[in-house]
Structure formats: structure tokens, C-alpha cells
Amino acid sequence: MQVKTFRLSIIALAIAGVVGGVNANIDTPAIQPVPPTPINAMSGAPTPVVAALPDFSSIVSKYGPAVVNITVSGHTKVAMTDMPQLDPRDPMFEFFRRFQAPGQPGGEMPTRGMGSGFIISPEGVIITNAHVIDGATEVTVKLTDKREFNAKVVGVDKPTDTAVLKIDAKNLPTVNLGDPSKTGVGEWVLAIGAPFGFENSVTAGIVSGKSRTLPDEGFVPFIQTDVAVNPGNSGGPLFNMKGEVIGINSQIYSHTGGYQGLSFAIPIDVALKVGNQLLHEGKVSRGRIGVSVQPINQALAESFGMAQSAGALVDFVPEGGPAAKAGVRPGDIILKFDGHPIIEPSELARYVSDLKPGSEAKLTLWREGGEKDIIVRVGVIEDVAQATEVTPELAKSRLGLAVRPLLPQEGRQSDVNGGLVVERSTGAAARAGIQTGDVVLAVNGHPVTEPGQLRDFVAKADKRLALLVQRGNNRLFVPVELG
């Protein structure tokens, strides 16, 4: 059976919409051993020493009030499978599309979702997961004192599954933020959230692993735990024994969709880097060097004359990119990036994305049997969708698309070279049938690889555009009547 990764917000469909700053440190909870009894004089065998389990109550009472429940509402489209097969140019097509009953194929159904979050500023700044509020038109935050607030979405970053919310309140309780790098495998941790809607539930376990890479999550070195987390825990905090938040509970690995012993949290330092950019700049800027890489196994290492299988093998270097300008070639093996050893290719993506675009970094390469250093100027990943939800501005735009460049690993999986991944479709694009997850390959026959190219075509267009779209294994031209 295939094991899948599940995000942990609760999403339910209902026709009527029925069915989610730093404080002072807290003392570390004491773990007191039970004194051993004297050695049995008859047998000579000592009585085993039994250690008591840790008491988490002080952490929960101090920081539990800073954990919030998040409820979202919105609408989702239902595929028009039962709609009469009419040409989109037929006048009756629009009639059937608009007036099909809600809840029936081709209509829209209300959605409600639940998740968790935590307050990091007394002025109402809240961190949660991006997938908790994905597609929401209204976000409500509920505190432990039963107060409820309508929340503003400050920004969303899907590559790290991080979102920042703001509520209109002051003097709120906040969590204490920690350093994930100081937490070791085997240490106790606890989670607070709303699994299946049970508000402010507390579960505990240990750190099972660090720097885990999950499919399609190349920017996040996840913390793996065995803490019981379930749908509704998404966006909630992961605490260490000092009462510090070291992560955001985000995903589970499961056969069933429920908890089976593997849960994953986004390190809080990764989330804070993203959150601060969203708060102060409204978007997230990530570095890029313009290479496609693959792992090194023992056979490849031996064929390149390497003593060990480590590094990132360059298999493609786009022309005109930062790496190409610096002289990187296919067949090079990146051993270090700016002094950081590269064991797995996923580490390269993290280090590059952390650098400020325009800065310089040193690449240590393995080439022709020896090491070689190259200086590369870091470029920027253009992504107009990473901090954009369905805002009025997007809905009113002529095209109504939020897109990002196709990542190299995504291109290899779908056998596509370049293009723009649709992160959000509204307005004219949605009416034409463009869907989230589609890849826009060309506009009016011209290939597009950057969001700016798409904007230029829209700005110059009169009334319509023809988009070449890849959907799964199929390609089709979609005519779009611009707004």
C-alpha cells in the first residue's frame, strides 16, 4: 500500500456551510527519580530505579492561552461532469454553468475548515500553516477565553507551508520561541492544537529525527516526532521541555489519513524567516542559482572518481542563469555551497533559498577528478503566488492567475521543460477552465518561464489570449476572454 503525506487541517463540505513576542522563560519541568530501595539481603538483587515521566502541566498553563483555534470558510468548484456537452461558445453553455444547483456537479459548494495557530506578538500576529487557510474567503480566530476575531491574512508562503494572520487585539498572551538546532533526537516535546475540532488538546512524545525531506517539500528540513497529531493540529505549536516553540505541526505520514506514529513539524526558525518577510515586505524573496541536480549513489561516485557518495550531481544548467554565467557545467558535482557541505541535493535548495538575491556564494565542485571553487552571484526566484491569496485585486485582474515558475524537479516528474504552475485561478482564467495545478507552457505560441513574461502578454493583449496548458499527461490550448 502506498504511504502518503497528509496535511492536517480539517476540511468539510456542506451545502449550507455546516459541518479551527516572546515571554519570559519557563522553568524546565523536573523529572525526579524514585529513590531505589536497599539491596535485598536474601537475593542480593537491587531493586530497579524507576524514573517518573515529565510533567507538562506548567507549560500548558503558561502557554496554552497563546494557542488559537482557526476556522475558515470558502467555496470550492465541483467538476461539471453531468453538464450537457456543449461547446463553450454555445449561448446555452453559460446558462448551464451558472445555474446548476449548488452541490451538484458543475456548481459550487461551501467549505469549512479547521486548524490551529499560535500568537507571537501581543498585538495579534499569529502563525499557522498555509494549507489551513488555503482558498478561504473568511478566517475566524478563537482564543481560549472564548473571544473570536475576524483575521486578516497578512501573507502566505506555500513552499514552506507558512502563513501569517493578524487580529485586531492587544495585550494578548504569546508563546516563547526557541532554537530547533538545540533540540536533540530523543528529547521530549509536546503539541497543542485542535485535533478533529477538540480545542486545545495536548499530546506529547519525543523527537524521532531531524532535517527530514518530504516529497515536494524541498525548502523545509522537517522535525520528525512521534507526537500524536491529527487533522486540526495543523498550524499548532510544537514545544520543547523549556516551554519554547521549536516547530509548527504540519504533516503526517499515514496509510489511513489518521495518526500512525509519524508526524512532521516545520522548524520555527524557518517559519520566522518567512514570517518576517511577509510582515515587513509582503512577499518572500528566495535565492536561486539555476541548476537541476540529482543524488549521488555509490555507482555514480565511483564513475566520477569520488571516494564517497555525497554531493549534488548537476544534470542541467539553463542558459543565462547564474550558474551558467559562473561556469557550472552538467556533470559537475556540488560538494559545498558557501562552506556548507552538501550530502543530499535537498540541502542545496535550502542553503541557496536562504541567501539574499544579488549576494555572492562560493561553490566547491568536483570536476575531472578534483575539487574546483567557483563564485556564483545568487539570482531570485520570481513567485507572484507565494504571498497571494484570492484578493480583490487578483479577482479583478484581467487574467486572474497567480503563478510561479515550474521547479526543476517538478519538470522532471512531468517531462516538461519550463512553464508556470497555476497556484490560484479566478476571474477570466477560472471561467475559461484554468485550474490550480495546471502548467502554462506558452501564451499565443510563445513559451513562458517567468511570471513577468505572462504579465507582459496580458498587458499587450486586446480581448483574448490562447494559453497552452499542461494538465496531467495532456496538453491543450485554452482560449481566455480577458476581463
Of the segments 106-115, 224-233, 280-289, which one has the largest average pLDDT value? 224-233
Task: State the amino acid at position 331 in one-letter form.
Answer: G
Complete domains list, the chain, with CATH: 1-30+49-283 (2.40.10.120), 286-381 (2.30.42.10), 392-481 (2.30.42.10)
Contact present, 390 and 424 (Cβ < 8 Å): yes
The pLDDT of residue 118: 97
Which of these is catalytic: 9, 131, 134, 250? 131
The pLDDT of residue 27: 44
Is 315 annotated among the ligand-binding residues?
no
Pairing mode, strands 136-142 and 244-254: unpaired
What is the rounded CA–CA span in Å between residue 351 and residue 1?
34
The model carries a pTM of 0.65
What is the rounded CA–CA span in Å between residue 362 and residue 335?
11
Is 370 annotated among the ligand-binding residues?
no
- Cell numbers at 436, concatenated: 490550480
Mind spelling out the 3-state secondary structure of the chain? CCCEEEECCEEEECCCCCCCCCCCCCCCCCCCECCCCCCCCCCCCCCCCCECCCCCHHHHHHHHHHEEEEEEEEEEECCCCCCCCCCCCCHHHHHHHHHCCCCCCCCEEEEEEEEEEEEEECCCEEEECHHHCCCEEEEEEECCCCCEEECEEEEEEHHHCEEEEECCCCCCCCCEECCHHHCCCCCEEEEEECHHHCCCEEEEEEEEEEEECCCCCCCCCEEEECCCCCCCCCCCEEECCCCEEEEEEEEEEECCCCCCCCEEEEEHHHHHHHHHHHHHHCCCCEEECCCEEEECCHHHHHHCCCCCCCCEEEEECCCCCHHHHHCCCCCCEEEEECCEECCCHHHHHHHHHHCCCCCEEEEEEEECCEEEEEEEECEEECCCCCCCCCCHHHHHCCCCEEEEECCHHHHHHHCCCCCEEEEEECHHHHHHCCCCCCEEEEECCEECCCHHHHHHHHHHCCCEEEEEEEECCEEEEEEEECC
87 is catalytic: no
The pLDDT of residue 453: 85
pLDDT band at 383 (very low <50, low <70, confident <90, very high): very low
234 is catalytic: yes
Residue 24 has pLDDT above 50, yes or no: no
Q: Calculate the alpha carbon distances from 128 to 163, 224, 465 in Å.
A: 5, 18, 37
pLDDT digits over 235-253, tens only? 999 999 999 999 999 998 8
Which of these is catalytic: 9, 116, 208, 234? 234
Is 232 annotated among the ligand-binding residues?
yes
> How would you label 400-439 residue by residue, b for 16+ Cβ within 10 Å and e otherwise?
bbbbbbbbbbebeeeeeebbbbbbbbbbbbbbbbbebebb
Is 131 annotated among the ligand-binding residues?
yes
What is the rounded CA–CA span in Å between residue 61 and residue 55?
12
Is 233 annotated among the ligand-binding residues?
yes
pLDDT digits over 157-215, tens only? 988 999 999 999 999 999 999 999 999 999 999 999 999 989 999 999 999 999 887 76
Which of these is catalytic: 134, 157, 161, 226? 161
pLDDT digits over 312-341, tens only? 898 878 778 899 999 999 889 999 999 999
The number of CA neighbours under 13 Å toward the Cβ of 117 is 35
What is the rounded CA–CA span in Å between residue 435 and residue 426?
9
Average pLDDT over residues 376-388: 61
161 is catalytic: yes
